[in-house]
């Protein structure tokens, strides 16, 4: 006798009305087969898990958005823009109306050193503020434009022709000369003029080409409004020196009967 039969037998003795009925699980095998279909559904769910890796790909995108790196490039741009915004600075090295030494009365300098290329004593020259000249009535200082053959009291050579040129000299002091890249000369001249800076010719206006002598005429006669015009010339600042600089100018008449002569000069330096 099995253990189950013993239990049933005992129960049947104790409780006669209890009738053991064997489980009918086996009676509905088809129902059990249906549950198998449920297992198949579970396998479909695993397919959902496969989609999860795709989500990880989305996380990769933000890494590309490492756009912060691009933003740093934007910061570099303003640095380049800065130098472009920097405007040049203009410094007046000599204002109009400056005081000049001048040699007039038909006399000429004893050597070309008067232009500033060498030592020259202009202690005997006269001195006065611009505008210098004669004949118009608008001068601050009258120069002697007479056609004289008198050598005068100074040591400079006497004139050799009746066609005068008048000579002007002065010093200017420059600080930070190496910072300038360009000079602007604004010249009032009647009739023609040549300007030297430290012995180097920097401006020639209404004068012929070639060597300029005491007897050289200006190219044309200046009249009317042009007598009051400041002509502008741009020159490289290479000839400018630190400290003392010599400006020298010779003004020539256009002919032996010209009734007037005028001179003034302004100098401006540019710092890029
Ligand atoms: Ca004149
Ligand atoms: Ca004048």
56 and 148 inside one domain: no
One domain for residues 185 and 265: yes
**Same domain, residue pair 80 and 119:** no
More confident residue, 155 or 160: 155
In this structure, the number of other CB atoms found within 10 A of the CB of residue 130 comes to 24
User: Is residue 161 located within the same domain as residue 132?
Assistant: yes
* Overall domain count for the chain: 2
User: Are 143 and 156 members of one domain?
Assistant: yes
Residues, CB within 5 angstroms of ligand 1 (ion): 190-191, 258, 260
Taking the centre of ligand 2 as the mean of its atom positions, its distance from the CA of residue 160, in whole angstroms, is: 26
Model confidence at 84, in pLDDT bands (50, 70, 90)?
A: low
Tell me, yes or no, whether 97 and 185 share the same domain.
Answer: yes
pLDDT at residue 216 is higher than 50: yes
pLDDT band at 146 (very low <50, low <70, confident <90, very high): low
Cβ within 8 Å of residue 1, ≥6 positions away: 9
> How many angstroms separate the CA atoms of 133 and 129, rounded?
10
Rounded to 5°, angle at Cα 152 from 114 and 146: 90
Q: Which of 85, 104, 135 is the last residue of a domain?
A: 85
Q: Which domain holds residue 76?
A: 25-85
The SS3 of residue 257 is coil
Cβ–Cβ < 8 Å for 242, 177: yes
Kindly identify the ligand whose nearest atom is closest to the C-alpha of 133: 2
For residue 140, pLDDT over 60 is answered with yes
Evaluate if pTM is beyond 0.95: no
Q: Give yes or no: residues 52 and 169 share one domain.
A: no
- Final residue of a structural domain among 36, 62, 85: 85
- Shared domain check, 165 and 68: no
Ligand 1 centroid–CA 14 distance in Å is 158
Query: Has residue 5 been placed in a domain?
Result: no
Q: Given a cut of 80, is residue 20 above it in pLDDT?
A: no
Within-domain flag for 20: no
């Amino acid at each position: 006798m099995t253990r189950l039969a013993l239990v049933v037998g005992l129960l049947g003795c104790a409780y006669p009305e209890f009738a053991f009925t064997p489980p009918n699980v086996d009676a509905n095998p088809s129902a059990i087969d249906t549950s198998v279909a449920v297992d198949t559904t579970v396998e479909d769910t695993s397919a959902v898990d496969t989609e999860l890796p795709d989500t990880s790909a989305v996380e990769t995108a933000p890494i590309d958005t490492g756009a912060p790196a691009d933003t740093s490039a934007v910061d570099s741009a303003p640095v380049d823009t800065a130098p472009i915004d920097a405007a040049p600075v203009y410094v007046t090295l000599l204002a109009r109306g400056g005081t000049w030494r001048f040699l007039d009365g038909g006399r000429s300098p004893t050597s070309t050193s008067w232009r500033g290329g060498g030592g020259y004593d202009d202690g005997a020259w006269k001195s006065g503020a611009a505008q210098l000249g004669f004949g118009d009535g608008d001068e601050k200082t009258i120069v002697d434009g007479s056609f004289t053959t008198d050598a005068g009291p100074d040591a400079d050579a006497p004139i050799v022709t009746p066609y005068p040129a008048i000579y002007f000299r002065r010093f200017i002091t420059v600080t930070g000369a190496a910072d300038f890249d360009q000079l602007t000369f604004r010249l009032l001249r009647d009739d023609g003029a040549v300007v030297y800076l430290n012995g180097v010719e920097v401006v020639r206006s209404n004068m012929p080409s070639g060597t300029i002598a005491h007897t050289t005429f200006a190219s044309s006669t200046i009249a009317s409004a042009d007598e009051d015009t400041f002509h502008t010339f741009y020159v490289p600042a290479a000839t400018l020196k630190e400290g003392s600089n010599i400006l020298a100018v010779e003004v020539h008449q256009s002919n032996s009967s010209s009734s007037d002569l005028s001179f003034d000069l302004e100098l401006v330096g540019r710092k890029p």
